[in-house]
Amino acid sequence: MYQSLEVKSSRRNDMVDITNQVVDFVKKSSVNNGLLVINVLHTTAAVTINENADPDVKKDILKELNKLIPHNDNYKHIEGNADAHIKTSLVGSNETIIVKNNRLKLGSWQGIFLCDFDGPRTRTVIMKLISD
């Protein structure tokens, strides 16, 4: 089973919680046990799993990434988004999650986030369920 999501970010650096959409995709599937692979089809956007209970966690992550990799730092890349490419490489463009009994095996506080480092934009996230 395969599905794509269109996810809109609202800021240049943004983390959009897509957990509910991903959970709905898995629930609607016939896959009881297996793996879910999530991939972002952009070189300046990523996907990650982290805490989704406290919104300050997202703010802290983005703050520290921006300190480590500032927007303007004499990069050679002429498009003006080299920092976004670097952040994406560090965070990663995919996640794999175990599915058991038609449910994602996430921890109590874990959520799935699209990370946009060159927004605001609409990004494409693809999901593939692989059955045991």
Phi then psi for residue 21, to 5 deg, are: -65, -40
**Separation CA 93–CA 67 (nearest Å):** 21
Per-residue pLDDT at 2: 96
CATH of the domain at 109: 2.60.120.460
Per-residue pLDDT at 10: 98
Say how many domains are in the chain.
1
Q: Are residues 37 and 120 in contact, defined by beta-carbon separation less than 8 angstroms?
A: no
CA distances from 129 to 39, 72, 110, 118 (A): 12, 39, 19, 28
Per-residue pLDDT at 71: 96
Domain ranges, residue 8: 2-131
The single-letter DSSP state of residue 48 is: E
Tens-place pLDDT, residues 100-113: 999 999 999 999 99
